[in-house]
Structure 1
């Protein structure tokens, strides 16, 4: 076993410390300037940017081939692109439709919306798991199950006075 896989010298550790602190500080500053929306994870596009930022930071820290200035530039480019897409999607419905998915109604008043399940690639068994993991563990007591645009599920229990109407909530079934 090669001992260099455990320790290659103090220079690499020193570089990681210095570059790590500076890259982290740069990313925090860039994120503060760009605003909370940058890491909101409201949809799949936001998640991709968040993962890309983490990957970029890791590359800056661990790759001696990437200079701090290049890494910080990459972080600023990703945050700038995210800011630009969020800015334009608020002002343009066309851009918003291109980068955002809408929530999908998977179950309404205890009845499964099979076409929505199929389009969302969710099985009835997975839907059952979501319901069992919620505060309402009985499908007949479930007003709605919604696949949110960020990939999470919302389970809405039926109210005590009857069924809820979600027909005007902007959900696709």
Structure 2
């Protein structure tokens, strides 16, 4: 097989593997990387490098692999925008944590958000307790949004801290 075609096929395969793996293992809070997450990403990038370029260590091979990754990402984003089915598979949805002062405990458990984390987010938004929260959402970027107040709604954002160890990744 042509060496560059081989790099293209390998790069696309690795890209889709990484998208699927991130979806399965729940790393939707990529804006909230901790040191263990950064180490994991560095190690993964090193481990899949040879899978993409094989024995080719040339400048052209590296540029082709990088270009294919950018192009594949661009195409996937276009497909996600046009296909609700693919969007459902790849993109997570915002999750309701509190609705009209009532905590969604099942959602918190499913998302591994502790009551301490939720309390911290509420306090950081200047709200005294969860009963005053109209709506608290875990957004797709990992932020916790809080809408509170009675007549004048107040909205703020809280970046969720990820407290995962290497064993949990």
TM-score range, shorter chain: 0.5 to 0.7
Q: 1:127-146 alignment to 2 at 5 Å? A: 127-146=118-137
CA distance in 2: counterparts of 1:115 and 1:90, whole angstroms: 30
Task: Report SS of the residue matched to 2:145.
Answer: strand
Extract unaligned runs of 5+ from structure 2. 1-26, 32-40, 50-55, 154-169
2:81–2:87 contact (8 Å) kept in structure 1 = yes
Pairwise CA RMSD? 3.1
Provide Cα deviations, 1:70-108, integer angstroms capped at 9, x if missing partner. 322222122111111111111111101110011000011
Task: Report SS of the residue matched to 1:81.
Answer: helix
CA distance in 1: counterparts of 2:110 and 2:65, whole angstroms: 35
Q: 1:91-170 alignment to 2 at 5 Å? A: 91-160=82-151
Q: 1:1-173 alignment to 2 at 5 Å? A: 44=28, 66-160=57-151
Per residue, is there more strand in 1 or in 2? 2
Task: Report SS of the residue matched to 1:75.
Answer: helix
- Higher-Rg structure is 1
Task: Report SS of the residue matched to 1:143.
Answer: strand
CA distance in 2: counterparts of 1:46 and 1:70, whole angstroms: 28
CA distance in 1: counterparts of 2:57 and 2:129, whole angstroms: 54
How many aligned residue pairs are there?
Answer: 109
1:109–1:144 contact (8 Å) kept in structure 2 = yes
Alpha-carbon distance, 1:66 to partner: 4.2
Match of 2:20 in 1: none
